[in-house]
Copies of this chain bind each other. A is one copy, B any other.
């Protein structure tokens, strides 16, 4: 088994944090997306969507999509559980992980992809060229990140972690989203997000945050 990774990209970081929390080690292969290596034929054959991370199993099967990789790892290494333990907690973790993705991660991605010069004519992940940046998405993404911090703060006011009592994949997604948003100079608000600040400090101090 090996994981196609890029150390500077946010989605592979989600998987690396997940693996670190599980104490699972998998050999990493770097695909430098800043050098467009994800579009080379040898990698495209592993993931036609031209994106890292990809987990290649020993039988050659390639699993793309960060959460799909995490689910595979969760099945193989159930402890500690990071995706819920029974029907209700699995559903609640899935709900919160998706809320974080759909409100926060999507907004951060839109702001980054449509703002940075390195993504000129590459406004969508995985498409080699021909997708003009849409400047209006930068501002809209930043506004949505404001709503994301509000959503997160209300949830963390009554819960130690994003999906409730236990650390889960939803905390990883939220933490990586916040780190990702720094690329467009968006930070946790100075007021009205005290619970996010407390939680962020706790997550940042876990060994997995360095993964």
Contacts and interface: CB of A to CB of B under 8 A. Distances in A.
A64 interface: yes
A63 B75 contact: no
Centre residue among A61, A64, A71, A151 by max chain B CB count within 10 A: A71
A91 B69 contact: yes
A124 B136 CA distance: 13
A94 B76 contact: no
- Size range of the chain A interface in the assembly: 35 or more
What copy number does this chain have within its complex?
2
A65 B95 contact: yes
Nearest to A74: B87
Contact of A94 (B67, B98, B134): B67
A92 interface: yes
A137 interface: yes
A200 interface: no
- Mostly, the A contact residues are helix
A10 interface: no
Interface of A: 48-49, 55, 57, 61, 63-65, 67-69, 71-72, 75-76, 86-88, 90-92, 94-95, 98-99, 102-103, 123-124, 127, 131-132, 134, 136-137, 140, 143-144, 147, 151, 154
A131 B76 CA distance: 43
Contact of A127 (B57, B65, B69, B147): B147
Contacts of A123: 140
Most buried by B among A67, A102, A132, A151: A102
Contact of A68 (B55, B92, B154): B92
10 contacts: A61-B88, A63-B95, A68-B91, A68-B98, A71-B87, A71-B91, A124-B140, A124-B144, A127-B147, A131-B143
A71 B90 contact: yes
